[in-house]
Amino acid sequence: MPIDHRNPRSAISLAVAQVLCASAGLGVALPAFAQDTQVRAELEPVIVTATRREQDILDVPYNISSMSGDDIALRQMFDSPELLRAIPGVGVVDRGPRNASVVSGIRIRGLNVDSAALGDYAVSAVSTVSTYVNDTPIFANFMLKDIQRVEVLRGPQGTLYGSGSLGGTVRYVLNPPELGDFGAYVGATLSSVEGSDGIGAAGDLTLNMPVGETIALRLNVSYADYPGITDYVNLYVLDDEGIPVAPNGVLDPATEYESKKDTDTVESLYGRLAARFEPSDSFNATLSFMGQSDDFGGRRQPTPGTDGFGNPYGDYENGSIQLEPATRDVELSSLEMNIDLGFATLTSSTSYYDHYGDSTSENTGFYAQAGFLSFYYNYPRPMASAVRTWSDRAFIQELRLVSEIEGAVDYVLGFWYQDQDLYSTQDSFLRGFKRWWDAAVPGAEAAVSGDQDFIYRRREKFLDRALFGELTWHVTDRIHLTGGFRYFDNDSRNDTLIDIPLYTALSNPTEATLDSEDDDTLLKGNIAIDVMDDDLVYLTYSEGYRRGGSNAVPLEGFFAEDPRWQIYTADTVTNYEIGIKGRLGSVRYDLSAFQIDWDDPQLNTATPNWGFFVVSNGGEAESSGVELQLQGNIGDNLTYGFGWAYVDAKITDDFVSPIGTLIQEDGAALPGAPENMLNASLDWRMPAFGDMEFIAHVDGFYQSETRNAMSMSPFFDVDLDSFQIWGTAFTLVAEKWSASLWCKNIFNEEGVTGVFTELYMGSDPAEGYFGNGAKDLISLPRTLGLSFNYAF
């Protein structure tokens, strides 16, 4: 990996960091916070590879944050929403474990137009924020295990990364196998969460195993079994065929209900095996396989309001009339090779992933509020089940040439290729309707085919190719000019099928196929000036892009839609940024201001006639703001961190659907974009019991109010309250072991980041629906835990 020597502090900082890392030892051991009992008066350098070179974070000429795996371990972080809330200016929709891996909920610099309530099905438009695991672009929400660091890059990154982005990039960098040193690490955690009667348990095993002098293996295995907190209190009692029981006969509306406690259970198994081959200083290769399998019992999403009998819902109670289980599996294989050519390093990254899942969702509230149940004669005991599957498979190849920095010019040049297949299905059922119909309308049995009332199949294929790169001219030791480009050429195909098979006379399977393509060139410019040895001022202009595609709606027959829905185009941003970063004594700071112009933003939505999942382009939006990060020490024992982001993100032109429907007026705030976000942390260390060390940690996060969706309808557009979440951990560290007592969400804030309203999915006794499909997307309630780790 090339090292940035463009100014003295970069080389000195990297050398210090290498000495510190070497003193901690290789292989597998307790996290560094559990090894070093000496608190340094000055913060250690933070080394990142955001620019494809190892650099001190203060030398990177744009806004970037990094959190080490040691900090993740010290804070006892177990999921990505908790991690991302600790990084200044990063917002996230916390959908709970069941819906955490289908659709990305990461928001950077307010660039979002989608509803927070997405997550039950896969969408076509890619996220405005790209996510990477090492060098593979994938959104998968793996467990946070054996992580070296997490890097968050703000603003478009298409000139340095194969997967382009609008708002930024999040990189999860995993620990590589280490040559020549055997190590093992085991960990165990017990936890209790507010609202649950059970105890959660998790365990980890990490092994680093050298094989001769040139090969090393690294193995991670993690298992977690968490009890649920959500009680489903309006469940139908089902018979052997999964149909609501009818104690007085099928034509009578009477039924039976039951309640089940703690339904949103989570069982997860994660594994990773990596092999590193390094026969010389000029070549290394790492082959890795990783995967995760999840089983979810239901949603961590309680229902507000009352059921159809007038009973109010209590804390952590959900009004669904059926259970909503889900599963998720993901496998990722990758081969990363680096060849030192002397003048540059050539890197090849080859990967393939397969990410897929299924779920059953309560849809009866939607049917009731939309008036659909009258279409089915308001049959008693309505139970609408949406059974969905989704998959995302891709082959990715990236080649990257990164020059050594020895002269006046250095460069990064890359080629990226992705062959991606997306597939999603929905099969909707009105459980028991056929049985009721045959009894209610004798002699007309053939008119109804069964309980299934909706079939949807969508298959999309994307071929993306790009050339990208940056060239930096070091005009002097202190002035650096960078220019970047990205040329892309993308092709896509969409095949869609839809049918309503319930009534035989209406069944008319309809298919649609459409191809699309687009290409363009993006540019970037940056000037960075080392105004002093420890301070850097930078100014950046960068362009970002998100691919377009097709919706493939049928234009003829029973399910015909308006042809203006057929295509959605790419959306683009222009990002202007100015910043200063550096050190003031023991304080590390980073202050930036930005202005982003967003053209043709893509909205994941559905057609108004038949509910085809589509993407629609809007007019224009913009986002501007200020971001501040501070880290430092107070004395020899106290370390602090502080972050603040102010974001003003809004529509600057009426957002109109392809058929002319006004979705949102000019000037409205973008959804899921809090105006203010704050986070802070304190770590206090002191010697304890001889050679041991005691560490007390506290952290807090605050975000101002947000909007749920971009819509003018009260069915979707509601304001979400501001909230703050605090956590703490107390850790005792010995040479070989550490033990932590911790608490998350100390004050038990709901922390709602999205809602399904009662107007959209609520109770409707007049149509026989006495449950309630409304729900709040809450954060993890107060959780107490005890963790123990041992290294040998």
Would residue 326 count as lying in a domain? yes
Model confidence, pTM: 0.92
Question: Is residue 243, in this structure, part of any structural domain at all?
Answer: yes
> Which positions ≥6 away from 202 have C-beta within 8 Å?
78, 188, 189, 191, 222, 223, 224, 225, 226
Q: What is the pLDDT of residues 652-694, one digit of tens each?
A: 999 999 999 999 999 999 999 999 999 999 999 999 988 899 9
pLDDT of residue 6: 39
Alpha carbon distance 217, 182 (integer Å): 10
Whole-angstrom Cα distance, residue 47 to residue 601?
A: 35
pLDDT at 301: 96
pLDDT of residue 3: 41
**Secondary structure class of 433 (helix, strand, coil):** helix
User: Side chain identity at 763, as an amino acid letter?
Assistant: S
Q: Residue 255 belongs to what domain range?
A: 8-791
SS3 content of the chain, % helix, strand, coil (to 5): 10, 50, 40
Residue 200: HSE in the Cβ half-sphere, 13 Å Cα cutoff: 26
User: Do the beta carbons of residue 133 and residue 53 sit within 8 Å?
Assistant: no
> What local confidence, expressed as pLDDT, does residue 552 receive?
84
Count CB neighbours of 674 within 10 A: 25
Report whether 327 contacts 296 (CB < 8 A): yes
**62 is written with which tokens?**
């744009």
* Per-residue pLDDT reduced to its tens digit, 735-748: 999 999 999 999 99
The CB density around residue 258, as the number of other CB atoms within 10 Å, is 11
Residue ranges of the chain whose pLDDT lies below 50: 1-29, 32-41
What was the pLDDT predicted at 43?
A: 65
Please report whether residue 363 resides in a domain: yes
Amino acid, single-letter form, for residue 570: A
Tell me if 1 is assigned to some domain: no
186 close to 790: Cβ distance less than 8 angstroms:
yes
The answer to whether the CB of 548 falls within 8 A of the CB of 568 is yes
Among 355, 388, 398, 375, residue whose Cα is nearest residue 455: 388
| Cβ 711 vs Cβ 762: under 8 Å | no
Q: Which of 643, 698, 651, 700 is nearest to 676 (CA)?
A: 643
> How many domains is the chain partitioned into structurally?
1
Does a structural domain hold residue 2? Answer: no
**Rg of the chain taking only CA atoms, in angstroms:** 27
Give the percent of the chain with pLDDT over 70. Answer: 95
What is the model's pLDDT at position 15?
A: 34
Q: Are strands 231-236 and 317-318 parallel, antiparallel or unpaired?
A: parallel
- CATH code for position 443: 2.40.170.20
